[in-house]
Amino acid sequence: MRLLVTALTAASLSAQAPPSVLPETATKISEHVWAIMGNPNIGIVVGTRATLVVDTGLGPRNGATIAKVAATLSKNQKLFLTTTHFHPEHAAGEGGFPPNTVLIRPAVQQKEMDLHGMEMVELFSRSPERKELLNGVQFRAPDLTFDTEAKLDLGGGVIARLLWLGGAHTKGDEVVLVEPDATLISGDVVQNKVVPNIYGDGGTPASWLAVLDKIAALPVSHVLPDHSAPGDGSLVAQERAFIDDVRIRALALKKQGGSAEDAGKQLSAEFKTKYAGWPSMNLAAFVRSVYAE
């Protein structure tokens, strides 16, 4: 019965694009970490002195919803905001947060946003629902940037480690490790049964694997991905094994002289059987990324 329900939910989710308006409810992930489950999932880390929000939702209206939920979860006044990458559903809601919010992100991500941020807003605005949510969006400069790691002491023993480990879905992907919870807010870098996707000139399959090797060395018991269900630390190894598997097969087909397009079709069919529990399996784009490596 449980399997049937899961299958139906997956089918109904893939049948329609998920709505971009976030709910005003939060789910507990671990002792100090909450999530607004939506498109995308938003992380809220609560210490005694400060709260950290990870990702903004699409446009200021969603940002304001998140700020409201964060205020109900925290007793403190200080609010930090960071973004897992520069794409609009993760970064374009910043304008909805209170003006004294401290915005912090990796320098690599900021550079990518300066280059491609508004271009992505225009691309997303082709959908009427998203256009309304993104109306008038502007990006402000961050208050703080960092190269590879920023440690935020949120008080009460709660530490958020903001990490840039290399390119994966984009060049500037950030993951956040919350201590002492051992909770990883993983952005698009570690997902739960979602085919990985490299956007534009982001990372490569090989650099994504290198990022996952660094994450594998961290103490991770809970994972909150941004476009799929939360899970335990085994999601990190699952992601790595999947990317490795696709990459090895695609490189073998490339060596035999086949086209990326044919390899994409062949491997999509092959992996649909091999990874039967995954809601969808279109490997065309990721196989192209392997060929281009």
Chain positions contacting Zn ion, by CB under 5 A: 87, 188
In the bound state with Zn ion, the residue whose beta carbon lies nearer, of 96 and 187, is 187
H/E stretch holding 160: strand 158-164
Q: Considering only CA atoms, which of 82, 76, 80 is closest in space to residue 55?
A: 82
Nearest distance, CB of residue 194 and Zn ion, angstroms:
10
Smallest separation (angstroms) from Zn ion to the CB of 90: 6
Minimum CB distance to Zn ion smaller for 16 or for 256: 16
| 18 versus 98: smaller Cβ distance to Zn ion | 18
Non-local CB neighbours of 166 within 8 Å, separated by 6+ positions = 173, 203, 207, 210, 211, 214
Return d(Cα 132, Cα 189) in angstroms, integer. 28
Smallest separation (angstroms) from Zn ion to the CB of 56:
12
Cis amide prior to 40 (ω within 30 degrees): yes
Q: State the minimum distance, in angstroms, from the CB of residue 226 to Zn ion.
A: 5
121 in Cβ contact with 92 (< 8 Å): yes
**Smallest gap from residue 241 Cβ to Zn ion (A):** 21
Nearer to Zn ion, 174 or 188 (CB): 188
Q: Shortest approach of Zn ion to residue 196 CB, angstroms? A: 11
Task: For Zn ion, give the closer residue by CB, 65 or 186.
Answer: 186
Query: How many whole angstroms from its chain centre is CA 182?
Result: 17
Q: Which residue is nearest to Zn ion (CB)?
A: 87
Pair 46, 74: CB distance under 8 Å: yes
Among positive and negative, which fits the CA dihedral 83, 146, 112, 219? negative
Task: Pick the closer one to Zn ion by CB: 32 or 171.
Answer: 171
Cβ atoms 80, 51 nearer than 8 A: yes
